[in-house]
Structure 1
Amino acid sequence: MNRFASLTRLLAITALAGAAALSAHAASAPGKDQSPKLVVVMVIDGLPNEQVLRYRDQFAKDGGLRRLLEQGAAFSNAHQAHGVTVTAVGHSAVLSGAYPYRHGIIGNNWLDADGKTVYCTEDQRYHYIDEETGAHDGTSPHKLRVDTLGDQLRYATGDRAKVVTVSGKDRGAILLAGKTGTAYMYMDKTGDFATSTFYMQSYPEWVQRFRAARPQDRFYGKSWNRLLPDAAYAGDAPYPEPTTTNPNRFPFIYHSESGAPDAKYYERLKVGPAVDQLTLEFARAAVEGENLGRNPAGVPDLLGISLSGHDYVNHAYGPESVMSHDHLQQLDRMIGSFFGYLDKRIGLDNVLVVLTADHGFANSPEFSQARHIDALRINPGTLVDALNADLEQSYGVAKLVKRAMLPEVYLDYEAIDKRGLSRSEVENRAARFLLAQPGIAQVFTRTQFENGGVQTTRLGVLMQRAWNRQLSGDLMVVPTAYSIYSSGTSGATHGNPYDYDTNVPVMIMGGRWIKPGAYGNYTEVVDIAPTLAHLLRVRPPAAAEGRVLTEALR
């Protein structure tokens, strides 16, 4: 069965298939004494599976990615199977097993009913502990409308299981932690890891010790140098022209203009391997401070780790760059070291590891153009202004587009109704105009989504899953393949329903539960939560629509 057939079949019968899979394998599920002591879920932000496959021969013999590929089940045809492939949406899928139309995280940001910007994890009822908190900083999972695997594990064990997550981004930690876990995130202005008053009122002693040691300051004046010989990078894109903010040359020196660690320095630590090294060090401190994997109640614990640096590097330089290539090699060695630590601390035969990504990445348009691909940078502001001008000419009403965060476009239905216009007619007029613009492949309207008018093509299915009736825009505008929404002139991004953005690694390692091998069957990131629920003998999250990956289970 081809990938699209699998996708549409899954959409139609997912509940029945999931129930059948759970029932068929209940008898063979591991007993309590066979359960993992620790489940580690790792998300590499912005890692397309293409990079794992392309650079795999250069991974270290004791590297983490090599170990996962050789000792785990590696799914090469795995996808973040929704149409808006950004960090918050992808992280929400990993442990909820749900799509955006159900879990409610439709983007990193969106607009509320008053047209105000909403950040996916903002919650002004809470603040960071001992850190400055902005109005839109991420402090709680309130906007996540569903539960997660960690919540089910906590429920099944009477809250005795511990669920701890850490990330270079607040949304990376909070959306993995679910409703009842504890999230820690990197602070851009201080380089510390912090949590919010949603989770606790003061830090435990182990966190206080970690913060007091200030490990982030040791990178000052140090360089990020290439790990491999020059010949290893021969196939990468040449350096783009340097700018003031992006020197685009190795070595990259971590510094600030002030001559000492400050907010600009801590911000710079994110674009490169330093933030990931700090994240893994904090994860080690959490394993020891919370005694993860050695739960006195004899129940499994869950550790979520989201490594953010790769996303920042890819945005700045593109996934085809020497910088991205080297960063992935650095990650391989870091993860390998972390696995070595877990082996000594807990024993890897007691640990179940999952590694995936929240989204892939498009190449920079200039790189695609050099390869004779019709890739464009589409200026969002220019496009929306042109659309508003066309609608005003057609209907005599100014600014019928209230605001846009492409691919979302929000129309002013109040003004449309006041003029006695047909909503669907205005939607269709807007769609026709947009489809005539360079770089636009498809436009979906609210009327289509609400009335079942979206065709069941792969593109249609992915965009339908990405659209939430209460939160999403009235138009969803999909660019042509390899084109991106960008007002700049350099760098790359993601967010579209094409394979380069959806195809991500899914690797599961745990010799007592997992059959190693390379699996080419169609798989989705939403399959992770049901699979882990099966192995942990807990109820799957309520909105999960994935399946148990029985082909990879012993």
Structure 2
Amino acid sequence: MLKKVAAALLLAGSVPALAQSPTTVPAGAPALPTAPRLIVAISVDQFSADLFSEYRQYYTGGLKRLTEQGVVFPRGYQSHAATETCPGHSTILTGSRPSRTGIIANNWFDLGAARADKSVYCAEDETQPGSSSDNYVASPIHLKVPTLGGRMKIANPATRVVSIAGKDRAAIMMGGPTADQVWWLGGPKGYVSYKGVAVPPLVAKVNEAMARRLAEANPGFELPPQCAAKDFPVKAGDKTVGTGRFAREGGDYKGFRISPEQDAMTLAFAAAAIEAMALGKQAQTDIISIGLSATDYIGHTYGTEGTESCIQVDRLDRELGAFFDRLDKDGTDYVVLLTADHGGHDLPERHRLNAMPMEQRVDRALTPKALSAVIAEKTGIAGKTLIWGDGPAGDLYFDRGLTAAERAKVEAATLALLRAHPQVQTVFTKAEIAATPSPSGPPESWSLIQEARASFDPQRSGDLLLLLKPRVMSIPESAVMGNVATHGSPWDTDRRVPILFWRKGLTHFEQPLGIETVDIMPTLAALIKLPVPKDQIDGRCLDLIAGDGDSCAN
């Protein structure tokens, strides 16, 4: 077994040779008679539908297999308004929108909290002594609904549920509270878990392999031919992006984390876990969820349209191909689901160079701190922070110590100011969102308030929801830039993601009409004949059998 683990860890080494993918079963083949023994659910953080489509013709590895042999929904939707990592991951394996999962954002505010830090991180246990949203004990306590793995364990306690990711919130939201093992990249020393279990030999070996890889310098990746046209510098504040190759010195953890190397190590870990635990080799169906975080880190740091993002997609395709080939060699009967937690938007500076002169960064006056100061001056209510929020878009919270009259005054002044601002698309009050029925129908036709309703939790959502206009990046202009690009808007650049299914024996077809990521869980549940009450979820089962037959039929 240790030889197999060592072989799996070689995925994170040099560029793998791309083996021929298994041939598809011809059209007209019988419907799949048995449940798969292993569910492999992959989320590629910030892998927008636009990014997926842009490079589709160049895929030669794992993404080629999924797109040419699988069932392809290129127009999937993270249908809610708050298109962030934690809400997005909470939808993928629960079948529920954030309004039901309770995960409305990466961070929300609890102004009644006893601690000084009123911001609550989606994957923390804020009841732990000394916890803050930046220094916390990771936990799934905020997730209000079970994951697919959780439902599988209820039906059959022998089911093994494993979740591995680059980020804690990805691993936790897909694995859920009852997962057997949940691991994420915790720093230069490797992968850590919230479950408090001793590090097993497998994880120790993975961390040792990562330490060796990290200690070695990376001279950078070669530029694939399809990336050549992307290779020009773009200036954003003090940063120049667009020409990177991910070269780094030995020991540079940040360079490792914000590069294709991170995803390679995560997939190596997943392959080793599948082999060491013999997932998919017993009578029951097991499930492993894999969160690949590098695309998101790269998108924030360099944008989505430079050489950095182009190289990342190429490397992702190659590493996925090696990962699937590894599973094939073991003869595992597995089904793959690949999607994303949200999309992303490129930095305005590059858009302006490429035919989009209207692209702009958000006015610093819309940040909660600046907004609070202006409203205090307008209302004459001084001595306290009137408005709390996580940035110049999203949920805004009014100070809880305001009297009813003061609160009405603050709300009226804030609404008037925001609705007059040229960068603001709309502002909804909490009452307006709460009065809106939960949305239904094609997600591409939803109104903004319906998207807002899909993200709404009455206990955690703000008093106002601020939505910026399209083509307004919610990172302000700065002489010293941190991230240059982001996501989180209600627009299709951030909502649209690919949704891909593959299993040996499925006949390929493509459905261009819109579906939701909440449709994934009931679709996978149907493949293993696991009943899920429709009133407990927001999604619907997708029939994965081309032509006659129905994979959703009981």
Provide TM-score, normalisation by structure 1.
Answer: 0.83
Give 1:6's aligned residue.
Answer: none
In 1, Cα distance between the equivalents of 2:32 and 2:268? 32
Aligned to 1:534: 526
Q: Answer with 279-288 or 535-544: which moved more.
A: 535-544
Taking a change above 3 Å as real, the CA distance of residues 138 and 175 of structure 1, as seen in their structure-2 partners, is farther
Partner AA of 1:321 in structure 2: G
SS of 2:457 mapped into structure 1:
coil
1:462 aligns to what SS in structure 2?
helix
Write the distance in 2 (CA, Å) between the matches of 1:524 and 1:453: 18
Q: Do structure 1's residue 469 and structure 2's residue 458 form an aligned pair?
A: yes
Q: Does 1:51 align with 2:87?
A: no
CA offset digits 1:170-227 (Å, max 9, x no partner): 111111101211210002242x11113x3x5312232233334445535621122234
Alignment correspondent of 2:470: 481
Q: Which residue of 2 aligns with 1:163?
A: 161
Residue of structure 2 aligned with 1:70, choices 61, 68, 71: 68
Moved more, 350-359 or 384-393: 384-393
* Residues 242 and 307 in structure 2, CA contact (< 8 A), matched pair in contact too: no
Q: Which residue of 2 aligns with 1:92?
A: 90
| Contact 1:98–1:544 under 8 Å retained in 2 | yes
Q: Which of the numbers 220, 226, 229 marks the counterpart of 1:224?
A: 220
* 1:315 corresponds to which of 295, 300, 317: 300
Q: 1:195 to 1:421 in 2, by over 3 A?
A: closer
- Deviation (angstroms), 1:108: 1.2
The equivalent position to 1:524 in structure 2, one of 500, 503, 516, is 516
Q: Structure 1, unaligned stretches of length 5 or more?
A: 1-27
Question: In the alignment, which of 391, 399, 416 is matched to residue 412 of structure 1?
Answer: 399
SS in 1 for 2:55: helix
- Residues 138 and 171, structure 1, Cα contact 8 Å, conserved in 2: no
Aligned to 1:19: none
TM-aligned CA distance change 1:440 to 1:108, over 3 Å? same
**Alignment partner, residue 17 of structure 1:** none
For 2:240 and 2:164, locate their aligned partners in 1 and report how far apart those are by CA, in whole Å.
27
Whichever residue aligns with residue 449 of structure 1, its letter is: I
3-state SS of paired residue (2:337)? strand
Q: Is the 8 A contact 1:442 1:478 kept in 2?
A: yes
Equivalent pair of 2:364/2:476 in contact (CA under 8 Å): yes
What do you get for the CA RMSD once the two structures are aligned? 2.8
Report the CA distance shift for 1:243/1:304 in structure 2 as closer, same or farther (over 3 A): same
Shift of 1:81: 0.4
SS at match of 2:376: helix
In the other structure, the counterpart of 2:139 is 140
In structure 2, the CA distance between the partners of 1:505 and 1:155, relative to structure 1 (3 Å rule), is: same
Give the whole-Å Cα distance in 1 for the aligned partners of 2:210 and 2:455.
40
Match of 2:3 in 1: none
Q: For 2:523 and 2:490, locate their aligned partners in 1 and report how far apart those are by CA, in whole Å.
A: 24
Which of 322, 326, 329 lines up with 1:337 in the alignment?
322
Query: Alpha-carbon deviation of 1:234?
Result: 4.1
Rounded to whole Å, the distance in 1 between the matches of 2:93 and 2:290 is 12
- In structure 1, which of residues 181, 185, 207 is the aligned counterpart of residue 203 of structure 2? 207
1:155–1:213 CA distance, 2 compared to 1 (3 A): same
Residue 460, structure 1, aligned to residue 449, structure 2? yes
How far is 1:140 from its partner? 1.9
Q: For the Cα contact (< 8 Å) 2:434–2:453, is it kept in 1?
A: no
3-state DSSP of counterpart to 1:150: helix
Of 329, 333, 349, which residue of structure 2 is paired with 1:366? 349
Gaps of 5+ in 2: 1-29, 440-444
- Of the candidates 272, 280, 299, which is equivalent to residue 293 of structure 1? 280
Deviation per residue, 1:32-54 (Å, 9 max, x gap): xx110111000000011111111
Distance (whole Å) between structure 2 residues aligned to residue 454 and residue 356 of structure 1: 24
Q: 1:246 to 1:301 in 2, by over 3 A?
A: farther
Give how far 1:457 is off.
4.9
Shift of 1:123: 2.2
Task: Show the 5 A alignment for 1:172-187.
Answer: 172-181=170-179, 182-187=181-186
Q: Structure 1's 308 and 137: CA in aligned 2 closer, same or farther, altered over 3 A?
A: farther
SS in 2 for 1:41: strand
Structure 2 residue aligned with 1:25: none
CA 1:109–1:422: 2 relative to 1, 3 Å: closer
Cα gap change, 1:422/1:372 in structure 2, threshold over 3 Å: closer, same or farther? same
Q: 1:242 to 1:412 in 2, by over 3 A?
A: closer
CA contact (8 A) 1:29 1:534 kept: no
Structure in which a larger fraction of residues adopt helix: 1
Is the alpha carbon distance of 1:37 and 1:133 closer, same or farther for their aligned partners in structure 2, counting shifts above 3 Å? farther
C-alpha deviation, 1:454, in angstroms: 11
Tell me what 1:504 maps to.
Answer: 497
State the identity as a percent: 30
Displacement of 1:134:
9.1
Q: Is the 8 A contact 1:121 1:171 kept in 2?
A: yes
Residues 107 and 121, structure 2, Cα contact 8 Å, conserved in 1: yes
**1:289 aligned partner, one-letter code:** A
Shift of 1:148: 0.8
* Equivalent residues of 2:344, 2:494 under 8 A apart: yes
Superimposed CA distance per residue, residues 64-115 of structure 1 (whole angstroms, 9 cap, x where no aligned partner):
0011000101112210000010111100000011111111111111111336
Q: How big is each residue's C-alpha offset from its partner over 1:243-262, in whole Å with a ceiling of 9 and x where there is no partner?
A: 9877754443222xxxx52x
Alignment match of 1:79 (pick from 55, 67, 77): 77
Deviations 1:10-41 (Å, cap 9, x if unpaired)?
A: xxxxxxxxxxxxxxxxxx9966xx11011100
- 1:498 Cα shift? 0.5
Q: Does the aligned pair in 2 maintain the 1:444–1:454 contact within 8 Å?
A: no
In the TM superposition, residue 533 of structure 1 has moved relative to its aligned partner by 1.0
Q: What is the one-letter code of the residue matched to 1:160?
A: A
